[in-house]
């Protein structure tokens, strides 16, 4: 398998930036990794805060667990969530797509160099 294909697949299917790491472009791979992990961390923190709010509302209603009530509270809290969640999700997707394209382009460059070296040798 060509380096370009392997790098693009690693960035697309495993984690963004991993393709660049495979191509030994560590700083270039670390940037999308950090951005995506930060965005995921923020989204997880928001989801956890929303879940805790739902649990607090359940306790205030007497502490009985009714699955319909839990479902309704969860749906209500998710629709009134942080307005930046969509923006963060879009940023994560953008980093992921950029990482795949960048890994593919870097891999193509490496493939081209390998072909030139084989032609010389």
Domain region containing 21: 3-115
Does residue 45 form part of some domain?
yes
Could you report the per-residue pLDDT of 50-94, keeping only the tens digit for each?
888 877 877 787 766 667 766 776 666 655 557 788 999 999 999
Domain contains 100: yes
- For residue 19, is it within any domain? yes
Count of positions (residues) in the chain = 121
Domain for residue 89, yes or no? yes
| Residues 62-86 as b or e (16 or more Cβ within 10 Å = b) | eeeeeeeeeeebeeebeeeeeeebe
Residue 9 in any domain: the answer is: yes
Please give the Cα distance from 66 to 58 (Å, whole number): 9
| Structural domain includes residue 121 | no
Look over the chain and give the mean of its residue pLDDT values, rounded to a whole number: 88
Q: Give dist(CA 36, CA 38) in Å, integer.
A: 5
Q: Classify the phi-psi angles of 84: left when phi > 0, otherwise alpha if psi is within -120 to 50, otherwise beta.
A: alpha
- Whether residue 120 is contained in a domain is answered as no
Chain centroid to Cα 63, Å, comes to 36
Domains of the chain: total: 1
pLDDT given at position 19: 97
Judge whether 15 lies within some domain: yes
What does the angle CA 87 – CA 68 – CA 46 come to, to the nearest 5 degrees?
25
**Residue 115: what pLDDT?**
93
């Amino acid at each position: 398998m060509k380096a370009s294909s392997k790098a693009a697949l690693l960035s697309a299917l495993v984690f963004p930036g991993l393709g660049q790491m495979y191509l030994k472009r560590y700083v270039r791979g670390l940037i999308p990794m950090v951005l995506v992990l930060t965005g995921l961390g923020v989204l997880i923190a928001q989801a956890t805060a929303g879940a805790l709010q739902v649990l607090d509302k359940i306790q205030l209603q007497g502490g009985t667990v009714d699955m319909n009530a839990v479902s309704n509270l969860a749906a209500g809290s998710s629709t009134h969530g942080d307005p930046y969640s969509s923006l963060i999700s879009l940023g994560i997707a953008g980093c992921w797509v950029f990482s795949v394209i960048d890994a593919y382009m870097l891999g193509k460059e490496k493939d081209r160099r390998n072909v030139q070296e084989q032609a010389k040798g």
